[in-house]
Structure 1
């Protein structure tokens, strides 16, 4: 008769398996490990443009904003359950041939600045994690800028893919760079008053890498970029295999539909370290933890211990790539600020803190988005 494994033995085996998987596959560019995958929207012809929304009969969730700019729904939008005057909007993407959901919190006083917040590798199709796993809508509640939080895009690196990909039976033609830089800005300007040339962009993990690459390639749109625990050198030794394996673990799809085989030009075109020359004169705020569990890491179960171990490995990889990027960009004068926490792993509580720091250090001053009171 086989003797049942003890809890300690099971934990040792889980940690050993986790180390191998994380070092080679699943975690290299992951966001929150708890994300579920929801069914994407269906393909089809664009719907008729929605009529401008009238003022709601009821006040927005959370009550009326005395400034007035947040009290009415824009075209294609409904009130989001997260409150804080956030609207969930359907925006048609011609390049992707589908509606894209975008969570938007209008500026406090009709300001023209925007902040794009990008999600992690396991981005959901029902909300952007910045509104649930962090509290971005509360962090900027009284500020005069519009929060722009695109929904969806798991494993996409928010880039234009070379060919469509099948994810869970749905065919996606990922063209996220085109959507974020060519299609969405016009909608934001017409409905929320966001100027196309007065924006910041921020992201965590996969979204942090994407934020830096997009800022480098679209300097006319983004004036500041924040990267939290990002992977700043996708073409580094080992990453050619680690990133595709991590993507496949999440989506069970063809990862080379994104940038092509290892060494293809699109890999370098989306590598922040190789784009450093384009980022030296833009304010940057970059953070990484030490990979030592900190104040938010108090696991109280075997699963929590395993998740903490995952976060340690992920943050160690992120810190190494952030240091490599710092060494490259510091070769010449630049406007980048690096914050290395003495503790902290790959996790949302730390990124929430990072966003609050970036808000005061760079985002609001760069965009001139302080509220009047």
Structure 2
């Protein structure tokens, strides 16, 4: 069977699953209604692979001295500068006892040595060489003049940034996947020691898979994360149809066993990682949550058959995200909460929109909640 045929079957499966799940209204309406993350094939993860839609447009931060305290001009142990991203971003190898290997993390130190941190999580297609927030988006430029350290873990393909029940087989390599342990126990020790980031003064944000994971990690570790931003996340993975959709997308990406993550569908571990089911634990945490309409917008101008395919998948996937986000909002609003929901009138699953979402979240919640404005360092 050709790759083109496989992709057509997979896209058809996505449409059928979205309709069956009741998250969108009718398959024909999807082309003008809703979306998720897009790439060279349908996915719940980032679109930073070959054939992916274009990256976000360049961001121009305000001018000024970028390193007034000399904090950014010092390489920490195990680190080297990111010559492509620049903007004082360092690659750092951080040893993970739980995963028994070094985990690469990209870090942009705070402008004025502030102790606030912002964890930025990637999507399902997370790569092993960089975090897409520094390539497909402009996170390092957006926060260049702010008093907050960006923490961007590299890797974690299909992981949902969780601790897996069993090791994952990636391309013949059997790896321990203990991402929650790394992000909440191991990495904070390194960041506090070498970058001055407090273990209790952090925000967390992510797109798609990373958005769902950001909400889950904040719910489970509220003393570490004081604010959470979710862009096009999947906020109800235990909803009808998602038990099929998520494993299907994971297998399409990694050709690995998706049930090595949380066990078979319906197991308690799935519920533990469902933001909607954890709503009570999130109501006291400021949240900035977005989803697109799945109507193609300013960043969607396909000029090739591959781009048309990517756009179609983005429409389907954002529809799933929109539906689950609305369900999450309804559950959150059953009691007082600190969440802000922003639904774009256009936009499918793509980096241009997530870049805009991060810009909006920065001023609306991240900097105010973390007291990380540039002037906070004076």
- TM-score, normalised relative to structure 2: 0.86
Q: Superposition pairs for residues 43-192 of structure 1, below 5 Å?
A: 65-81=67-83, 82-192=85-195
- Is the Cα–Cα contact under 8 Å of residues 15 and 309 in structure 1 kept in the other structure? no
Match of 1:301 among 301, 304, 310: 304
Counterpart CA distance in 2 for 1:236 and 1:271 is: 9
Structure 1 residues 251-330: aligned runs within 5 Å: 251-330=254-333
Deviation at 1:170, TM superposition (A): 0.9
Check conservation: 2:68, 2:112, Cα contact below 8 A: no
Give the Cα–Cα distance (whole angstroms) in 2 for the partners of residues 30 and 114 of structure 1: 23
Match of residue 200 from structure 1: 203
Tell me whether 1:29 sits opposite 2:29 in the alignment: no
For the 8 Å contact 1:64–1:71, the answer to whether it is kept is: no
Cα distance, 1:301 vs structure 2: 1.3
Within a 5 Å distance, the mapping from 1:205-216 to structure 2 comes to 205-216=208-219
1:87-106 CA-to-partner distances (Å, cap 9, x unmatched) read: 00000000000000000000
* Distance in 1 (alpha carbons) for counterparts of 2:195 and 2:290: 30
CA contact (8 A) 1:108 1:141 kept: yes
Cα distance in 2, alignment partners of residues 69 and 223 from structure 1: 24
Give, in whole Å, the separation in 2 of the partners of 1:216 and 1:310.
30
Measured in 2, the distance between the counterparts of 1:273 and 1:224 equals 17
Partner in structure 2 of residue 54 of structure 1: none
2-side partners of 1:303 and 1:132: how far apart?
Answer: 21
Summarize deviations over 1:128-155 as a string: whole Å, max 9, x none. Answer: 0000000000000000000000000000
- The runs of 4+ residues in structure 1 deviating greater than 6 Å are none
Q: What corresponds to 1:359 in structure 2? A: 362
Distance in 2 of aligned mates of 1:224 and 1:276: 14
Query: Unpaired runs of 5+ in structure 2?
Result: 19-40, 52-64
Inter-partner Cα distance in structure 1 for 2:14 and 2:50: 17
**1:263 to 1:35, Cα distance in 2 relative to 1, 3 A:** farther
Instruction: Indicate conservation of the 8 Å contact 1:18/1:310, yes or no.
Output: no
**Structure 1 stretch displaced more, 160-169 or 134-143:** 160-169
Deviation at 1:31, TM superposition (A): 2.0
Q: Does the CA contact (< 8 Å) of 2:293 and 2:345 recur in 1?
A: yes
Q: CA deviation at 1:19?
A: 3.0
Q: SS where residue 202 of structure 1 aligns?
A: strand
- Indicate how the Cα distance of structure 1 residues 14 and 291 shifts in structure 2: closer, same or farther if over 3 A, else same: farther
Q: Map of 1:215-234 to 2, 5 A cutoff?
A: 215-234=218-237
- Residue pair 1:164, 1:174 contacting (<8 A) in 2 also: yes
Which residue number in structure 1 is paired with residue 345 of structure 2?
342
Report SS of the residue matched to 2:372: coil
- Check 1:297–1:154 CA distance in 2 against 1; reply closer, same or farther (3 A cut): same
Contact 1:35 1:123 in 2 (8 A): no
Q: Is the 8 A contact 1:28 1:242 kept in 2?
A: no
1:16 shift after superposition: 5.2
- Give the direction of change, closer, same or farther, for the CA distance of 1:17–1:262 in structure 2 (3 Å limit): closer
How many angstroms apart in 2 are the aligned matches of 1:28 and 1:282? 29
Q: What is the alpha-carbon distance in structure 2 between the residues aligned to residue 15 and residue 126 of structure 1?
A: 26
Alpha-carbon offset, residue 290 of structure 1:
0.3
Structure 1 residue 33: deviation in Å? 6.0
CA-based RMSD of the aligned residues comes to: 2.0
